């Protein structure tokens, strides 16, 4: 009898240890970079090593793409007007030019002089004079990034801002890292940029919340999705008020003003996170109608939110669930 009890204890101990190991096959790493707190949860084998590698990658990419860090590669490009065309900066600048073409200039990588003029780079907000705005609209319109002689060059004196796509690119790079590992799945969350990788262990879809522009911490709804990127741009994310007027960080390159077309947030669901990030910024500038044509041609889905409506593209009809708390505040429109 004593033997049986001893065996039973050994069995329970081994079983508990095995379960403990199972539970350990999920790991969350955190990193602060690109003005964002990143949370990276990886499931499966080697989750700790992979999640930590992702956090390191995120921090190192800031050293390439920061417009304000004097040691970054982008800073060198903006100060010298050129830099050697290689690595992540070259890849992202190439994508930025493509996106500008795709969105007819609504996304403009050379927007930095305008973003700086409004003080959004250093959080030293100010409302510029019309003369300053006009001067910088012209500078932004005239400048472009070109690739030649093994370098990236900014022509006509402008400056590049990758803030509208850098987080998307970073999360796409993390996704590649995770996909190439033994992990079974992951959720990469960089503020409003969320990427899901692989499958949930129970085989059900991932549930991704869309933040409420009105209620900090609340959700307007959730999306039930497989592996994809869900990226939100919103006027509620970075803004200031002056003399009773509201100004935010997404600028229309044509007017030099923060976009004022009734949208308060745009969420793009796409396979590629850099594309989703870039389009969420561009669609915010373009407004619903023009965005829809581009969204359809690229086969991406969108959730447009205004003060009192949520409009959803057709591919999300079965995937979107409106929050109870949003029911009274918003009309739900299927596009």
Where along the sequence are the contacts to ligand ADP (CB under 6 A)?
A: 107-108, 111, 115, 120, 161, 163-164, 191-192, 233, 237-238, 249-251, 253, 277, 280-281, 285
250 binds, among Mg ion, ligand ADP, none (CB under 5 to 8 A by kind): ligand ADP
CB 123, min distance to ligand ADP, A = 11
Binding-site partner at residue 158 among Mg ion, ligand ADP, none, CB < 5 to 8 Å by type: none
Q: Which is nearer to Mg ion, 184 or 196 (CB)?
A: 196
How many whole angstroms separate alpha carbon 30 and alpha carbon 211?
20
Residue 280 sits in the site that holds Mg ion (CB under 5 A): yes
Smallest distance, Å, CB 180 to Mg ion?
A: 25
Residue 36 vs 233, nearer CB to Mg ion: 233
Residues in contact with 218: Cβ distance below 8 Å, sequence separation at least 6, in sequence order: 211, 212, 323, 325
The token duo for 202 is 């129970």
Binds 249, which of ligand ADP, Mg ion, none (CB < 5 to 8 A, cut-off by type)? ligand ADP
Are 232 and 210 within 8 A, CB to CB?
Answer: yes
CA end-to-end distance (rounded Å), the chain:
71
3-class SS at 253?
Answer: coil
The 8-class DSSP code of residue 293 comes to H
Both structure tokens of 123: 């959080």
Residue 321: CB minimum distance to ligand ADP, A: 23
- Identify what 116 binds: ligand ADP, Mg ion, none; CB under 5 to 8 Å per kind: none
Type and span of the H or E element at 269: strand 263-270
Q: Which CB atom, from 50 or from 152, has the smaller least distance to ligand ADP?
A: 152
Contacting range for Mg ion; rule: CB under 5 A; set: 45-53, 99-107, 140-148, 157-165: 157-165
Among 44, 158, 164, 192, the residue binding Mg ion under the rule CB under 5 A is 164
| Alpha-carbon gap, residue 249 to 236, rounded angstroms | 9
Phi, psi angle pair for 2, to nearest 5°: -55, -40
Please, what is the minimum distance in Å from the beta carbon of residue 253 to ligand ADP? 5
Cα torsion angle, 43, 48, 51, 54, sign: negative
Establish if 193 lies at the interface with Mg ion (CB under 5 A): no
Minimum gap (Å) between residue 237 Cβ and ligand ADP: 4
Q: Is 198 left (phi over 0), alpha (psi -120 to 50) or beta?
A: left
For 128, the token pair is 């510029």
Beta strands 219-225 and 245-248, pairing class:
unpaired
Nearer to ligand ADP, 223 or 279 (CB): 279
For position 281 contacting Mg ion by CB under 5 A, the verdict is yes
Query: Is the Cβ of residue 96 or residue 133 nearer to Mg ion in the bound state?
Result: 96
Of 53, 172, 277, 301, the one binding Mg ion (CB under 5 A) is 277
Instruction: Pick what 118 binds: ligand ADP, Mg ion, none; C-beta below 5 to 8 Å, kind-dependent.
Output: none
Q: Are 306 and 335 in contact (CB under 8 A)?
A: no
């Amino acid at each position: 009898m004593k033997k049986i009890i001893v065996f039973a204890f050994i069995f329970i101990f081994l079983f508990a240890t095995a379960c403990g190991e199972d539970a350990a096959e999920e790991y969350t790493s955190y990193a602060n970079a690109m003005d964002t707190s990143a949370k990276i949860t990886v499931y499966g084998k080697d989750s700790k090593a992979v999640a930590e590698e992702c956090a390191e990658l995120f921090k190192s990419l800031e050293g390439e793409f920061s417009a304000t860090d004097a040691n970054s590669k982008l800073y060198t490009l903006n100060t010298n007007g050129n830099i050697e065309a290689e690595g992540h900066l070259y890849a992202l600048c190439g994508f930025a030019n493509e996106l500008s073409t795709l969105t007819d200039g609504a996304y403009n990588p050379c927007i930095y002089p305008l973003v700086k003029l409004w003080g959004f780079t250093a959080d030293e907000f100010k409302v510029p004079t019309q003369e300053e705005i006009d001067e910088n609209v012209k500078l932004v319109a005239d400048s472009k990034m070109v690739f030649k002689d093994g370098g990236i060059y900014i022509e006509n004196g402008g400056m590049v801002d990758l803030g509208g796509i850098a987080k998307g690119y970073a999360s796409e790079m993390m996704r590649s890292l995770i996909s190439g590992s033994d992990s079974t799945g992951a959720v990469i969350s960089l503020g409003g940029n969320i990427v899901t990788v692989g499958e949930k262990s129970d085989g059900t879809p991932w549930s991704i919340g869309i933040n409420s522009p009105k209620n900090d911490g609340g959700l307007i709804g959730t999306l039930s999705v497989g592996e994809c990127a869900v990226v939100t741009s919103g006027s509620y994310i970075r803004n200031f008020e002056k003399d009773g007027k509201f100004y935010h960080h997404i600028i229309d390159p044509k007017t030099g003003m923060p976009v004022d077309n009734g949208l308060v947030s745009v969420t793009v669901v796409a396979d590629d996170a850099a594309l989703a990030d870039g389009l969420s910024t561009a669609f915010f500038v373009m407004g619903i109608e023009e965005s829809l044509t581009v969204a359809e041609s690229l086969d991406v889905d969108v959730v447009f939110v205004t003060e009192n409506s949520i409009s959803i593209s057709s591919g999300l009809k079965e995937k979107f669930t409106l929050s109870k708390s949003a029911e009274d505040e918003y009309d739900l429109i299927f596009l």
